Amino acid sequence: MTGQKGKTESRRRFIGRMGAAGASLAFLRPTRMAFSKESSHGSASRDRPNIIVFVTDDQRWDTMGCVGNPIIQTPNLDRLAQEGVLFMQNFCTTSICMSSRASIFTGMYTRRHQINSFQQPLSPELLAQTYPVLLRKGRYRTGFVGKWGLGGPLPKEDFDYFEGFSGQGQYFQEINGKNVHLTQLLTERALEFLRGCSREQPFCLSVSFKAPHVQDGHPDPFRYDPIYENLYQDTEIPVPTTASAKHFQALPEFIRTSEGRVRWERRFATPRLFQKSVKAYYRLITGADAALGKAMAILDQFKLSENTVILWTSDNGFFLGEHGLAGKWLMHEESIRTPLIIRDPRLPSNRRGSRCEEMTLNIDIAPTLLTMAGANVPAAVQGQDLQPLLEGQPIAWRQDFFYEHLFEHARIPKCEGIRTKRWKYIRYIQQEPLYEELYDLEKDPQETQNVVGRKENDAVLASLRKRWRALRDELV
């Protein structure tokens, strides 16, 4: 046992040293760990379920078969949706990796947690209020696997099992003379954690994929596992209607010259490049879907499925050429709308396979998980517990939310705004004169007509300006 602990510590030190340089896990080895039956602190019960949280990177909401995408193959996500609740209107409150991941961990808007740069860590006070740290205090066995996504030292000591890395990571590692894909490496580490769990102690595992994020700086940025090479090869991906030159030219000049356009040139500028990039993006998602399937198989094997909540989401969305753009950051639907599926096997059968149309946010994840586990939700949390929606209870729910993107970048315009069920108000806060956008999502779901300046919308615009100002000041 001492030798095994030593190997684990050695591996953790290696990952810690290599992570900041962009390296990922060091090696892959077969894991044959026997399932643990020893009793530990606490106990697993229907009141304290096991929890697995899967977070992809840059996966937009419509890249799953269960939401109607006719091309992408996501059989395990489709199964998860059939066995759980699919949230059709889920959003991030800031569409960039580190800010959104901090919001997922803490349940707070960026305005409160203040993570606006890749180098910035969660303060010790904020880290102590994250859902995994709080659950560990509640005697959950906790694990983290994958992209940490925040600055500062990796918080290895705050988890029972930590196989995370700093920075963006690399999609391939050479192991025993073979290139192994990062998604496969992370899957093996997640399964290793699950094999070490006990039915006598509840656990919480967070799995943070790099997929389907690009490999920045690489000539083939969507670096998928070669086992998916033939997938989608004979399929023609439809080009978005808003990807036309007409729609791009309707954008203001500061967006036409923004980082989103720079990256569009690298990824979607020609029909051939568009097909190549989107198919590769889909292959990365299918690879993450396969990881979910393997985790679900382990849960079934060890009879843990009946008391394990699985949550699948992403940190933000991703433009696939819409509006002539790539990346995320802006407040358009492609950038801010993300998948959310929660399978809670304790729900009655009539809730399985249901869909929820209420607006849910990344900041809702932490309070939901904490409440499920019977833990106290910190007063600073700004999200809401999703369990009433999971259970189908009639409940007064949010009618709008505040969006903010304050990342410092010369070619990414800062913006804030309000999203209601029908309207979207965007305010580019650094532009002089002020530039505003207003979209009627009921009539114009693709956001092609900015209706600021139309007299019939003056009252709506005034109301949303007032709401923006109130939430901007209230949410600090």
The per-residue pLDDT for 29 is: 38
For 418-473, write each residue's pLDDT tens digit. Answer: 999 999 999 999 999 999 999 999 999 999 999 999 999 999 999 999 999 999 99
SS (H, E, C) the chain: CHHHHHHHHHHHHHHHHHHCCCCCCCCCCCCCCCCCCCCCCCCCECCECEEEEEEECCCCCCCCHHHCCCCCCCHHHHHHHHHCEEEEEEECCCCCHHHHHHHHHHCCCHHHHCCCCCCCCCCHHHHCCCHHHHHHHCCCEEEEEEECCCCCCCCHHHCCEEEEECCCCCCEEEECCEEEEHHHHHHHHHHHHHHCCCCCCCEEEEEECCCCCCCCCCCCCCCCCHHHCCCCCCCCCCCCHHHCHHHHHCCCHHHHCCHHHHHHHHHCCCHHHHHHHHHHHHHHHHHHHHHHHHHHHHHHHCCCHHHEEEEEEECCCCEECHHHCEECCCCCHHHHECCEEEECCCCCHHHCCEEEEEEEEHHHHHHHHHHHCCCCCCCCCCCCCCHHHHCCCCCCCCCEEEEEECCCCCCCCCEEEEEECCEEEEEECCCCCCEEEEEECCCCCCCCCCCCCCHHHHHHHHHHHHHHHHHHHHCC
User: Whole-angstrom Cα distance, residue 99 to residue 92?
Assistant: 10
Joined together, the tokens standing for residue 372 give: 């499920």
Q: pTM of the predicted model, to two decimals?
A: 0.91
Domain ranges of the chain: 7-19+49-398, 414-476
The per-residue pLDDT for 33 is: 34
Burial letters 226-235, b for 16+ CB under 10 A, else e: eebeebbeee
User: Whole-angstrom Cα distance, residue 18 to residue 11?
Assistant: 11
- Band of residue 36 on the pLDDT scale cut at 50, 70, 90: very low
User: Whole-angstrom Cα distance, residue 179 to residue 159?
Assistant: 29
- Contact in structure between 159 and 140 (CB atoms under 8 Å): no
The per-residue pLDDT for 44 is: 57
For 117-141, write each residue's pLDDT tens digit. Answer: 999 999 999 999 999 999 999 999 9
Mean pLDDT of 38-44: 45
Res 317 pLDDT > 90: yes
Give the torsion sign (CA, 435, 440, 444, 447): positive
Among candidate residues 278, 282, 264, 260, the one with its CA nearest the CA of residue 335: 260
Mean pLDDT of 47-65: 97
Q: Does 3.30.43.10 match the CATH number of domain 7-19+49-398?
A: no
Mean pLDDT of 14-25: 36
- Band of residue 27 on the pLDDT scale cut at 50, 70, 90: very low
For 183-199, write each residue's pLDDT tens digit. Answer: 999 999 999 999 999 99
Backbone φ and ψ for 252, nearest 5 degrees, come out as: -65, 155
For 141-187, write each residue's pLDDT tens digit. Answer: 999 999 999 999 999 999 999 999 999 999 999 999 999 999 999 99
> Which CATH number describes the domain made up of 414-476?
3.30.1120
Query: 14 versus 393: which is more confidently predicted?
Result: 393
Res 45 pLDDT > 70: no
* Whole-number average pLDDT of the chain: 91
Res 363 pLDDT > 90: yes
- Band of residue 94 on the pLDDT scale cut at 50, 70, 90: very high
Query: 326 versus 8: which is more confidently predicted?
Result: 326
User: Whole-angstrom Cα distance, residue 416 to residue 427?
Assistant: 5
